[in-house]
Amino acid sequence: MKKFFLFSLAAASILFITACSGSADKLVEAEKMELHGAKLLTENPGFTGKGYVSFASHINGYIEVPFSVKEDGQYAVMLNFANTTKDDWSAVRVEFDDGKYLCSQRLPYSEDFSSIYVNAPMEVEKGKHTLKIIAINRGWMLDSVKVSPVTPEILAKITPSVEPVSKNASPAVKELMQYLVSMRGKGIISGQQISTMLDVDVINEATGKYPAILGIDMIDYSPSRVEHGARGNVVRKAKVWVKNGGLITCAWHWNAPAQLVDEDRPEMHWYDGFRTKATKFDFTKALKDHNSEEYQLIIRDIDAIAVQLKSLQDSNIPILWRPLHEASGGWFWWGSKGASNYIELYKILFDRLENYHKLNNLIWVWNAQNPEWYPGDEYVDVVSYDTYPGKRVYGTFHDYLQLVQTASTLPKLCALSENGPLPDVVKLGQEKSPWSWFCTWCGEFVEQGGSYSEEYTDLASLKTFYNDEYLITRDEINLGGN
């Protein structure tokens, strides 16, 4: 497996950890590990043994200790750690010494030493192995590591929960969550964003199959676009798609509520109002004053979209709901004022839909694309990334998987919520990748002139991927009686 590093080794401390030979369930104290470029300290109380490893000021430190197990099976890794970076962001990446990736995760704040499981079981064969743990950012300490056989109780802690974050979740949402979790590492669900239905029809003509997920956008239901004559029609299309057995993911290119630039220049028209440069609307005024005109306009817009989401709810349709996407890029107005303002806006949106409108058909997909922009585990069901690597570049995107996993402390489902070329489904299957779905973008990425476009994914690769057993198409989805 190819090894990916999102962060340079100059910014990461590398730790190789292993349990004692012949013991699959033994605590390994820090002082029993061979240290390279890291220090064994004793200043902070509460550690066991003779000390702990500090990553606060040592770069490229690592520890090597091989572990062995007596039989093939699933094992869990437990870290006894302390993380005093309350106002910062620290995370850990876990892989084997051959580069095989296990998972990444954010470390919760903990002044005292406490235990946390690594958010994935590891499949290992009988014998000796070497585990590698990479410290992403500094400021945390490691006291000990334990490798144990996985029990049902442990497995429930280290895999994504089937319970959605919405307290109002409908049975259909719960069923879809259970399905997504059950398919993790067993298949990737195909998806296609639409501008028109030609985007999915050309795939069917080329492969004989439809993608499982239809990607829609609430853009034309934005009040500032409706004021200019826009009329949305994707809700109707979504209902037909679901009747034919498919699933729905929904984004919202939120046209700014007011103060559109509307100039005859590229990406500066009224219909470009979701772009930062195409509006002068300052949503931070709404955050500071809930009696302001800006706040009332934000609520007006959210309420307008709630009407459309309720229409889908009335048809018992669960939605993979991906609002405020790609925020950390700054090219959309909701990401133009930094992480803290984005997070506050995200929470307002969540609260309005969840607690005021009582919507019960949403699975919340976070897509700000930067772990420092994460609103919190209680607001997110799925962490996702949008990737456009270049024409006919078919990747597995493990670097982005690492990135989105480090956003959350809990294990979460992961998705490629937008892509240009299709991911390399064959390799994903070989590696049992945990990506839940992909959603190819519309227009030139799939269709030109009414026919399939090979510009981004050539026809031979499309057919190979769509006929691979790891890719799930619409006819293979069986939820809610479909």
Residues carrying an active site annotation: 326, 418
Looking only at the bridges linking them, the beta strands covering 362-366 and 319-322 are parallel
Q: In DSSP terms, which residues pair with 69 in a beta bridge?
A: 127
Q: What CA–CA distance (Å, rounded) separates 412 from 393?
A: 27
Residues whose CB falls within 8 Å of the CB of residue 443, separated by 6 or more in sequence, listed in order = 195, 199
Tokens of 151: 């029990």
Give exposure, 222-251, as e/b (b: 16+ Cβ within 10 Å). bbbbeeeebebebbebbbebbeebbbbbbb
Rounded Cα–Cα distance for residues 235 and 214 (Å): 11
Measure Cα distances from 246 to 191, 212, 241, 317 in Å. Answer: 10, 5, 6, 10
- Which has the closest alpha carbon to 301: 219, 195, 217, 216? 219
- Between CA 426 and CA 454 the distance in angstroms is 19
Quickly count: other Cβ atoms within 10 Å of residue 481's Cβ. 6
Going from the C-alpha of 396 to that of each of 120, 160, 268, the distances in angstroms are 18, 21, 35
